[in-house]
Amino acid sequence: MKGNMSSHIYGKKMKTITAIILFITTWLFSSITLAASHNIILSAETLPNGQYGYKMISHTTDGAAPNYPADAVIPGPTLFVQGGDVVNIQLTNNTNIKVGFNVGGLSVGNAISILPKQTRNYRFNADKVGTFPYGDEKSALLGLFGAIVVDDPSGKVQSFLDGDGTLTAVKRDQLNKEFVMFMVGSTFWGAEISADGTQKPLWTNPTLGAVENQLVRFHVLAVGHAHTFHLHAHRWPDSTNNGNTASSNIIDVKLMSSPHSSHTFTIKAGTGVGPGVWQYHCHVMSHMQSGMNGKFHVVAAGSGETGDSIAGASPRGKIFLNDSDEPGLVTFIMSDEPGSWFRSARGNALSPVTHTKSLEIIPPGSSVHFIMSDTNGVHTVTNLLWPSDAGKNDHGGDHFMIPIDETKAYRGGGIVQLNVPGLYVFTCKIHPFMFAAVIVDDPKTDGLDLGNTIDLVSGIKDLPTSSDLATRLVSTFFIATTPSNWRDFTSTNPWHVAYPNVDVVTDAGKLSLVEVLEARYGQDVQLTSLSKPATPGVGEVWVDTQFEKTAGKTKPGAITVLDTSDWTLKRKIALPQINMNNPHNMWANRDHSVVYATQWFDTKLTLIDQKTGKLIKNIHVGDTPSHVMTLPTTDDVTIAIHGENGVVRMPVGTTEVDYMMPTQQHGQAPANPHGHWISADGKRIITPNVNTGDAGIYDTETGQIVVRTQTGGGAPVPHPIAIGMMPDSSRVYAANLLHHSISVLDGNNGALLNTINLIADYNPITGEFADKDGNGVVAVGVLPIQTPVSPDGKVMVTASMGGQIVITDTTTNKIVKMLSCDPGCHGANFGAKQGGGYYAYVSSKFSNRLIVVDPDPNGDGKLDDAEIAGSVSMVADKGVPKDDTVSNLAGFGGQGVLPLPIVYNGWVQNLPSEWSAGLTDKQRNPIQ
Task: Kindly list the residues in this chain that would bind Cu ion in the complex (CB under 5 A).
Answer: 227, 282, 284, 287, 379, 428, 430-431
Q: Which does 166 bind (CB under 5 to 8 A by kind): Cu ion, other proteins, none?
A: other proteins
- Asked if residue 204 lies in contact with residue 314, where contact means CB atoms within 8 angstroms, the answer is yes
Cα angle, residue 284 at apex, residues 280 and 289 outer, rounded to 5°:
80
Question: Residue 379 binds which entry of other proteins, Cu ion, none, with Cβ cut-offs from 5 to 8 Å by kind?
Answer: Cu ion
* Separation between Cα atoms, residue 708 and residue 697, nearest integer Å: 6
Q: Which does 657 bind (CB under 5 to 8 A by kind): Cu ion, other proteins, none?
A: other proteins
Helix axes 513-521, 468-480, angle to 10 degrees: 100
- At closest approach, how far in Å is the CB of 462 from other proteins? 14
| Residues 472, 482: Cα–Cα separation, whole Å | 16
Q: Which residue, 144 or 430, is less far from Cu ion as judged by CB?
A: 430
288 vs 777, beta carbon nearer Cu ion:
288
Say whether the peptide bond before residue 901 is cis (omega within 30 degrees of 0): yes
CA distances for 751 relative to 165, 678, 685, 748, 757, angstroms: 61, 18, 16, 8, 18
Our CB check for other proteins shows the closer of 423 and 695 to be 695
Beta carbon of residue 409, minimum distance to Cu ion (angstroms, whole number): 7
The binder of 520, among other proteins, Cu ion, none, by C-beta within 5 to 8 A per type, is: none
* 710 contact, one of Cu ion, other proteins, none, CB 5-8 Å limit per kind: none
SS3 label, residue 599: strand
Least separation in angstroms between residue 17's CB and Cu ion is: 40
What is the nearest approach in angstroms of other proteins to the Cβ of residue 406? 8
Q: Considering the complex, state which of residue 282 and residue 744 has its C-beta at the smaller distance from Cu ion.
A: 282
Of Cu ion, other proteins, none, which one does residue 666 interact with (CB within 5 to 8 Å by kind)? other proteins
2 binds, among Cu ion, other proteins, none (CB under 5 to 8 A by kind): other proteins
Residue 162, binding choice from Cu ion, other proteins, none, Cβ under 5 to 8 Å by partner class: other proteins
Looking at residue 904, the DSSP 8-state letter turns out to be S
Rounded least distance, CB 783 to Cu ion, Å = 16
CB of 886 to Cu ion, least distance (A): 25
Q: Which is nearer to Cu ion, 234 or 287 (CB)?
A: 287
- The amino acid that residue 744 corresponds to is V
| CB 239, min distance to Cu ion, A | 22
User: How far, in Å, CA of 551 to CA of 402, rounded?
Assistant: 41
Residue 298 or 473 with smaller CB distance to other proteins: 298
Which among Cu ion, other proteins, none contacts residue 669 (Cβ within 5 to 8 A by kind)? Answer: other proteins
Q: Is the dihedral of CA 111, 117, 118, 120 positive or negative?
A: positive
Long-range residue pairs from 692-697, CB within 8 A, at least 24 positions apart, any chain: 692/664, 692/668, 693/717, 693/718, 693/719, 693/720, 694/720, 695/720, 695/723, 695/732, 695/734, 695/743, 695/745, 695/750, 696/663, 696/664, 696/671, 697/732, 697/745, 697/747, 697/750
Q: Which listed option, Cu ion, other proteins, none, makes contact with residue 430 (CB within 5 to 8 Å by class)?
A: Cu ion
Confirm if 438 and 359 have CB atoms less than 8 A apart: yes
**Is residue 174 within a helix (H) or strand (E), and if so which, with residue range?**
none
**Alpha-carbon distance 681 to 905, whole Å?**
9
Whole-number minimum distance, CB 457 to other proteins, in Å? 16
Nearer to Cu ion, 258 or 445 (CB): 258
Burial zone of 861 (CB within 10 Å; 0-12 exposed, 13-18 middle, 19+ buried): exposed
Task: Report, in Å, the least distance between residue 224 CB and other proteins.
Answer: 14
Strand-strand pairing, 549-550 and 886-888 = antiparallel
Q: Nearer Cβ to Cu ion, position 581 or 729? A: 581
254 is in the binding site of which of other proteins, Cu ion, none (Cβ under 5 to 8 A by kind)?
other proteins
Q: How far, in Å, CA of 751 to CA of 754, rounded?
A: 9
**DSSP letter, residue 251:** E
Q: How many CA atoms lie within 13 A of 130 on its CB side?
A: 20
Is-contact 187 292, C-beta < 8 A? Answer: yes
Q: Which amino acid is at 306?
A: T
**Shortest reach from residue 436's CB to Cu ion, in Å:** 12
**Dihedral sign from CA coordinates of 760, 764, 766, 769:** positive
User: With CB cut-offs between 5 and 8 Å by kind, which of other proteins, Cu ion, none does residue 428 bind?
Assistant: Cu ion
SS3 135: strand
Q: Which is nearer to other proteins, 371 or 919 (CB)?
A: 371
The SS3 of residue 544 is strand
- Asked if 335 contacts 344 with a C-beta cutoff of 8 angstroms, the reply is no
The minimum distance between CB 16 and other proteins, in angstroms, equals 6
The CA distance from 849 to 874, in Å, is 5
195 binds, among other proteins, Cu ion, none (CB under 5 to 8 A by kind): none
693 versus 824: smaller Cβ distance to other proteins:
693
Residue 519 binding result from other proteins, Cu ion, none, given CB thresholds of 5 to 8 Å by partner type: none
If the CB atoms of residues 328 and 622 are measured against other proteins, the closer one turns out to be 622
At its nearest, how many Å lie between other proteins and the CB of residue 141? 18
Closer of 161 and 799 to other proteins (Cβ)? 161
CA neighbours within 13 Å on the CB side: how many for 485?
23
- Out of other proteins, Cu ion, none, what residue 551 binds, judged by CB under 5 to 8 A for its kind, is none
Closest distance of CB 275 from other proteins, Å = 7
Q: Which residue, 458 or 645, is less far from other proteins as judged by CB?
A: 645
Considering Cα of 917, then 919, then 922, then 928, what sign does the dihedral take?
Answer: negative
668 binds, among other proteins, Cu ion, none (CB under 5 to 8 A by kind): other proteins
Rounded least distance, CB 843 to Cu ion, Å? 19
Residue 282: CB minimum distance to other proteins, A: 8
Q: For strand 413-417 and strand 435-440, is the pairing parallel, antiparallel, or unpaired?
A: unpaired
Considering the complex, state which of residue 659 and residue 836 has its C-beta at the smaller distance from other proteins: 659
Task: Residue 173: name the closest of 350, 325, 32 by CA.
Answer: 32
Amino acid (one-letter) located at 925: N
C-alpha to C-alpha distance for 80 and 78, rounded to whole angstroms:
6
Phi, psi (deg, nearest 5) at residue 419: -110, -25
From the CB of 271, what's the least distance to other proteins, in Å? Answer: 9
Comparison of 397 and 835: residue with beta carbon closer to other proteins? 397
Q: Are 217 and 160 in contact (CB under 8 A)?
A: no
Q: How far is the CB of 182 from other proteins (least distance, A)?
A: 17
Residue 475 phi, psi (nearest 5): -60, -45
Binding partner of residue 431 among Cu ion, other proteins, none, CB cut-off 5 to 8 Å per kind = Cu ion
Tell me whether residue 611 or residue 666 sits nearer to other proteins (CB atom).
666
Q: Which is nearer to other proteins, 520 or 620 (CB)?
A: 620
